[in-house]
Chains A and B, each alone.
Chain A
Amino acid sequence: MNDMKLGITLIAAAVALAGCGEQKPAAKAEAKPAAAAPSVLEVKIGHVGPLTGGIAHLGKDNENGARLAVEEANAARTRIDGKEVKFTFLAEDDQADPKTGTTVAQKLVDAKVAGVVGHLNSGTSIPASPIYAQAGIPVISGSATNPKLTEQGFKSQFRVVGRDDQQGPAIASYLATTKKPKLVAVIDDATAYGEGIANEVEKTLKAANIKVLPREKGTDKTTDWKAVLTKLRGRRPDAVFYGGMDATGGPLLKQGRELGIKAVFSFGDGACTDEMTKLAGPAAEGLLCSQAGIPPQAADKRFLEAYKKRFNVDPILYAPFTYDAAKLLIAAMQKANSADPKRYLPELQKIDFTGATGKIAFDGKGDRKDAEMTIFTMQGGKLGPIAIVKGGKTMTYEEFIKGMK
């Protein structure tokens, strides 16, 4: 997954460079009035995400979310400590590369930012987090889901999106409550991600008194699942869970149906993509899968309209989360009446905030309390959300949308 799309990188780099070129004059123009008014407090907020490479579009989406929040705060003439605040937005590109991630983190620290929104990937967020922690700068990721990020014990590290190890329990509890299987087969691809999510699913299912077959394994390159599936067919499971990516999950599903396995197939976010229709063909219909967070179209209406108006596109994936992350930083500064990281960090830790993605509060580790997970199903070749799992409770997508309004 990580080494895909090298070929596109160059093109994307060119596009992103062009994009950067456009932004600079705008930033300068904004900076002028700030210098003119002496009683204005200048606060820098950083954002990091890949703006070049295969997922540059997601990086830009994240950046837009945070940028919108900062611009709104400027337009609202936010005041801290009696002074009007001029927020400056510093957007950096980490190329989804861990090494670049640490370099730009240091760059933001040197620029004396008051807070950071990012990074997009877990792989860049984790190595960057000690740099922010050392400088005492609060950093909130809107999209990094690897549990390790907040397990390192850094007080300044937060995230507003769910963790991978909440995703397993979510899809498992959805399976358990709606499909009521008696026997479930769990397969993984022997990677850290696949095994991790499969372990969580197995744990949750067993806790719900559902029998789980001994774990079956493939690799992240397996294309021939027939031997494993044939063995499983003999045991007649009611549901199958696969922890792995779409490139292996698609063939798994296709071959399972070819062998006449009638069970419900379910997957984690690695195989929660529209690619599944292409890879598995008609067999993909009815699959279940989970993703951390909520689909952008389920976010707060006001946010969606403002985003569309400002950027002329709809948010793609995590923009509502980075929007909330930037809002949280600003809200904590207002509460502490200071933009000094040392002073507003305690406020951020105990914040109680309602943003575009719903209510946000942090636990001791900096993870969002009761983070939402979305369950998707494949219908007519398209993935659509059917349910939201929050704090172990499942509600249908329609109920959730109603609750957001």
Chain B
Amino acid sequence: MDTFLQQLVNGLTAGSVYAVVALGYTMVYGIIQLINFAHGEVVMIGAMVAFTVINALAPGGLPPLAVVLVGTACAIPVCMLVGYSMERLAYRPLRGAPRLAPLITAIGVSILLQHLAMLVWSRNVLAFPQIIQNTTYTLAGASITSVQIAIIAVCIALMGGLALLVYRTQLGTAMRATAQNPHVAGLMGVDVNRVIAATFVIGAALGAVAGVLYGTYYGVAQYTMGSILGLKAFSAAVLGGIGNIPGAMLGGVLLGLVEALGAGYIGDLSDLCAYGWIADLMGEQCDGGHFILFGSNYQDVFAFLVLIVVLVFRPSGLLGERVGDRA
């Protein structure tokens, strides 16, 4: 039981990071129906900038929490700038183009950012300075660290903040209007270009925070980290219903849980020797041993399995309603 609880804690932590990254995908998709494949790279740049700042400040004697906060505070504007220039330089000129053009551009931007990061931060796996005193609490047999608690809390706060922004402010109203129909929103006096740029910038800021959280949680950062993280967050966004903000949050957390439980139990479930009749068929191979079909290295596969299952059986996602014609 404590193993199960622990897997839930693990899944919840990873899932809340996925959720925050997924928000970046879903917001952009909701407004201009573009899957911004470069968003994972924005997250990576956030982690890298924070790494550089934290590394530089770590020996300075400031309190660790302040160092991490300064690192985050530096990462956010850099990512916002990256998000803004990406929209301004790569996507806006293609606003009227067929949908495939911006999609391919997004992949191009992703490769470009990745390799720029490689030139700046090298190919090596960078070790995030471990400055935060990590206290472990035990709860009904499951251990949860202070960093994990902080990650979950920050993610909930970010999601709440974003919901407030989208549903309670003028900018949010403009964003929702643009999402429904950009032409009509424009006629009603909404500056569509500004709203779209704002969406990119907000998504990038969320991505920056997610990057810092990811870096401090796992302790490593590398220029390639954005691609797999991005794909998983994208799957999470699709799971929740792409374009739908609460859906991305739900999808992220669910995906984290599916991954943790999947990786935790697939080995035992696919142990052919654990099943009587197959064990008989296998004969000697099972004598006191195990024959595990799928090991925990299939962890990354779950995200994509979920993506395929959702696209086949419920293309609009769990909470999606207005996607059918666009997906």
Beyond A215-B292, A227-B264, A230-B7, is A281–B297 a contact (Cβ under 8 Å)? no
Q: Is the CB of A259 within 8 A of B124?
A: no
Q: Is A218's beta carbon under 8 Å from chain B?
A: yes
Beyond A214-B267, A234-B3, is A226–B136 a contact (Cβ under 8 Å)? no
Interface size on A, residues (CB 8 A): 39
Q: Is A250's beta carbon under 8 Å from chain B?
A: yes
Query: How far is the CB of B229 from the nearest CB of chain A, in Å?
Result: 9
Q: Is A3's beta carbon under 8 Å from chain B?
A: yes
Beyond A5-B123, A258-B136, A260-B143, is A223–B3 a contact (Cβ under 8 Å)? no
Chain B positions 212-232 with a Cβ under 8 Å from a chain A Cβ: 218-220, 222, 224-225, 228
Q: Is A209's beta carbon under 8 Å from chain B?
A: no
Query: How far is the CB of B283 from the nearest CB of chain A, in Å?
Result: 18
Per-position binary interface string of chain B over residues 112-123, scored 1 when its CB falls under 8 Å from any chain A CB and 0 otherwise: 000000110011
Q: Is the CB of A228 within 8 A of B263?
A: yes
Beyond A216-B296, A218-B297, is A227–B259 a contact (Cβ under 8 Å)? yes
Q: Is A247's beta carbon under 8 Å from chain B?
A: yes
Per-position binary interface string of chain A over residues 248-285, scored 1 when its CB falls under 8 Å from any chain B CB and 0 otherwise: 00110011001110000000000000010011111000
Residues in A whose Cβ lies below 8 Å from that of B219: 250-251, 254, 279-281
Q: Is A57's beta carbon under 8 Å from chain B?
A: no
Chain A positions 214-243 with a Cβ under 8 Å from a chain B Cβ: 214-219, 221-224, 226-228, 230-231, 233-234
Q: Which listed residue, A218, A219, A223, A275, touches B218 by the CB 8 Å rule?
A: A223
Chain B positions 119-160 with a Cβ under 8 Å from a chain A Cβ: 119, 122-125, 127, 130, 134, 136, 138, 143, 145
Q: Is A37's beta carbon under 8 Å from chain B?
A: no
Per-position binary interface string of chain B over residues 249-268, scored 1 when its CB falls under 8 Å from any chain A CB and 0 otherwise: 00000000001111111011
User: In the complex, what distance in Å separates the CA atom of A251 from the CA atom of B216?
Assistant: 11
Q: Is A6's beta carbon under 8 Å from chain B?
A: yes
Q: Is the CB of B292 within 8 A of A5?
A: no
Q: Is the CB of A231 within 8 A of B220?
A: no
User: In the complex, what distance in Å separates the CA atom of A222 from the CA atom of B10?
Assistant: 15
Q: Is the CB of B296 within 8 A of A230?
A: no
Q: Is the CB of A227 within 8 A of B260?
A: yes
Residues in B whose Cβ lies below 8 Å from that of A222: 297, 299
Closest B residue by C-beta to A279? B127
Q: Is the CB of B296 within 8 A of A258?
A: no
Residues in B whose Cβ lies below 8 Å from that of A230: 3, 6-7, 10, 260, 264
User: In the complex, what distance in Å separates the CA atom of A281 from the CA atom of B143?
Assistant: 19
Residues in A whose Cβ lies below 8 Å from that of B92: none
User: In the complex, what distance in Å separates the CA atom of A218 from the CA atom of B271?
Assistant: 17
Residues in B whose Cβ lies below 8 Å from that of A281: 130, 219
Closest B residue by C-beta to A214? B290
Q: Is A4's beta carbon under 8 Å from chain B?
A: yes
Q: Is the CB of A259 within 8 A of B6?
A: yes
Q: Is A190's beta carbon under 8 Å from chain B?
A: yes
Query: How far is the CB of A4 from the nearest CB of chain B, in Å?
Result: 5
Report which residue of B118, B136, B218, B292 has the largest number of chain A beta carbons within 10 angstroms of its beta carbon. B218
User: In the complex, what distance in Å separates the CA atom of A7 from the CA atom of B262?
Assistant: 38
Beyond A234-B2, A251-B218, A260-B136, is A218–B123 a contact (Cβ under 8 Å)? no
Query: How far is the CB of A375 from the nearest CB of chain B, in Å?
Result: 24
Beyond A214-B290, A215-B292, A216-B267, is A250–B127 a contact (Cβ under 8 Å)? yes
Q: Is the CB of B263 within 8 A of A227?
A: yes
Residues in A whose Cβ lies below 8 Å from that of B3: 230-231, 233-234
Q: Is the CB of B123 within 8 A of A6?
A: yes
Pick 11 A–B contacts, CB within 8 A, sort by A: A4-B124, A7-B118, A8-B122, A217-B295, A222-B299, A224-B218, A227-B259, A230-B264, A231-B265, A255-B218, A260-B136
Give the 4 A-B residue pairs with the shortest CB-CB distance, closest first: A281-B130, A227-B263, A278-B127, A217-B295
